[in-house]
Amino acid sequence: MNIVNSTIRDIKSLKIQSATNVRKRAVLALVKSSTASKTKSENEFRKEFLKNANLLFCARPTEPELRTALRIIKKSISREGLSVNEMKEKIIQTAKNYEVDRLVSLKSVAEFGASLIEPNSVILTHCHSSSVVETLIKAKKKISKVYCCEARPLYQGRMTVSDLTRAGIDATLIVDNAASTLMKECDYFFTGADAILADGDVINKIGTNQLSTVCKRYEVLHYVCTSSHKFEPASFYGKKEPMEQRDSDEVWEKKARGKVKILNPAFDRTDSKYIEGIITELGVFSPEQLTSVLYRKLQLEKHRKDFLKL
């Protein structure tokens, strides 16, 4: 099995988890498959590159960060008349530059996020987000306690609570349904994002919308920590972000459940009106402000939806 197919298999099975890791491994697979290509002509190389890029592009629904990275790499070799070796070098360099940019972005998100947290704060988290973890570690001295939801059925919250505990933060894992009870103690609800949409709504791990709604009742501030790379520009053109439905066996194996039907959505959509702010490498914005900024930055008024295709 080649590296592209094995990476897709690992993404689909969730052996590779979190948007950041999915993007890193997919980009690595594309770079390795491209540099190992035996094709000699420009057209043959482009055809092979686009085939592999498209396979990775579709590896998992609800992954705008992955799509953004692949679009940027594709753009780097868009000029006609490049030799195969020139394209390989551009792909390698663009991927390296992108990773450096993402590390810088992560540091900026953490700094902006940490500056918002007041001393002696109690924080609730859901699922696992590299941006949230880095933000809370940055604000470590101002945090009294963190409650981490399990994020069933695959328990990504265990990753978060382990990361925070290793960093010396007082973090406690809680069952998902305990969140509303403990929320009365909390000052903030911090989550990541798998996608930011044109209207400012955020797609994240299933359960985020439910918790964000309860936050409003208890006056707990919901902040989303994410890079602007999670923005899906196609949503400006009316394209709906797909919501992944996971295998029922993750919840209850078929051998045990028999004919019982299972619904196992991976994500939900949180209304922008419940979100206090979205923390990005560009700064902290209300959801509507951020999408306006990104609309102008990407000059979307000059394009049509098909420019986003690979």
Domains and CATH numbers, the chain: 3-105 (1.20.120.420), 111-308 (3.40.50.10470)
- pLDDT attached to residue 264: 96
Q: Rg of the chain over CA atoms, in angstroms?
A: 20
Phi then psi dihedrals of residue 204, to 5 deg: -150, -175
| Catalytic sites, residue numbers | 127, 194
Calculate helix-pair angle for 64-76, 84-116, nearest 10 degrees. Answer: 140
- pLDDT attached to residue 63: 87
C-alpha separations of 252 from 5, 80, 218 in Å = 28, 52, 33
CA neighbor of 147 nearest in space, from 175, 125, 180: 125
- pLDDT attached to residue 301: 78
pTM of the model: 0.90
- pLDDT attached to residue 1: 74
- pLDDT attached to residue 99: 93
Bridge-based pairing of strands 121-125 and 188-191 is parallel
- pLDDT attached to residue 215: 97
Spatial contact of 147 and 310, defined as CB atoms under 8 Å apart: no
Going residue by residue through the chain (310 aa), what tens digit of pLDDT does each one get? 799 999 999 998 888 888 888 999 999 999 999 999 999 999 999 999 999 999 999 998 888 889 989 999 999 999 999 999 999 999 999 999 999 999 999 999 999 999 999 999 999 999 999 999 999 999 999 999 999 999 999 999 999 999 999 999 999 999 999 999 999 999 999 999 999 999 999 999 999 999 999 999 999 999 999 999 999 998 988 888 889 999 999 999 999 999 999 999 999 999 999 999 999 999 999 999 999 999 999 888 776 665 566 6
- pLDDT attached to residue 304: 64
Helices (H), the chain: 3-12, 19-35, 42-57, 64-76, 84-116, 130-138, 157-166, 179-182, 208-218, 254-257, 287-297
CA 270 to chain centroid, in Å, comes to 15
- pLDDT attached to residue 32: 96
| Structure tokens belonging to residue 258 | 């028999």
